[in-house]
A and B are shown apart, each in its own frame.
Chain A
Amino acid sequence: DAKTTQPPSMDCAEGRAANLPCNHSTISGNEYVYWYRQIHSQGPQYIIHGLKNNETNEMASLIITEDRKSSTLILPHATLRDTAVYYCIARLKGQNFVFGPGTRLSVLP
């Protein structure tokens, strides 16, 4: 798996967009970028994934740079319930998921 690096923590004001960066400079052409989050005392929850194109679903948007060396997860209108640890993972099909320390996002009222 490509190593991913994320800031250890971030704050975001409630109602504002939360932009969580992830660097994966050694990613290969076939590795997908996945985002999960883990709310306190719960199992991780899938958010979104992508390969090359930007993706959007009901939870978030994923912006992947053209060179694929980095990506940004965007929560368009963060709520207090979005406070969690967010994990960025680069993974080949069939490989195991490797979760790093992630980014602890605190949404502030």
Chain B
Amino acid sequence: GAGVSQSPSNKVTEKGKDVELRCDPISGHTALYWYRQSLGQGLEFLIYFQGNSAPDKSGLPSDRFSAERTGGSVSTLTIQRTQQEDSAVYLCASSLASGTIYEQYFGPGTRLTVT
């Protein structure tokens, strides 16, 4: 079946602009995660959604970052007033549920470059 998809695959934006990154999880997966990965670094957790529960936003680095998940499916990560340090690959993952041992399935990521 279809895996996790993300769009766009690449995004170049000017400093100060807002960007939206999209994630389509695997159908039926109730948990959705956002991570970012700077060049040569490990993955940094940003936020996760589980069903209709309030999202865990503990990993968001600043209030310029926000995310929504509409209808329990598609999610959008928004970065306002982008800065050069926001340049990274943004990865989305989904799993059957977060409250279990189920593994996460990752999308290909969106490479964001802030100039």
Q: State A98–B42 Cα separation when bound (angstroms).
A: 9
Q: State A96–B35 Cα separation when bound (angstroms).
A: 11
Which partner residue on chain A sits nearest B111 by CB separation?
A: A41
Instruction: List 11 other contacts, CB 8 Å, given A93-B101, A96-B45, A101-B41.
Output: A43-B91, A44-B43, A44-B104, A46-B105, A93-B99, A94-B98, A96-B33, A96-B48, A97-B43, A97-B104, A100-B42
Interface residue range, chain B: 20 to 34
- What are the 10 A-B residue pairs with the smallest beta carbon separation, nearest first? A43-B106, A99-B43, A46-B103, A94-B99, A99-B42, A101-B42, A44-B106, A96-B45, A43-B91, A100-B42
Q: State A18–B105 Cα separation when bound (angstroms).
A: 24
Residues on A lying within 8 angstroms of B by beta carbon are 32, 34, 42-46, 49, 87, 93-94, 96-102
The interface centre, meaning the residue of A42, A87, A99, A100 with most chain B CB atoms within 10 A of its CB, is: A99
Residues on B lying within 8 angstroms of A by beta carbon are 4, 33, 35, 41-45, 48, 56, 59, 91, 93, 98-101, 103-109
Which residues from chain B contact A102 at a C-beta distance below 8 Å?
Answer: 42
Which partner residue on chain B sits nearest A34 by CB separation?
A: B103
Which residues from chain A contact B41 at a C-beta distance below 8 Å?
Answer: 101
Q: State A87–B48 Cα separation when bound (angstroms).
A: 20
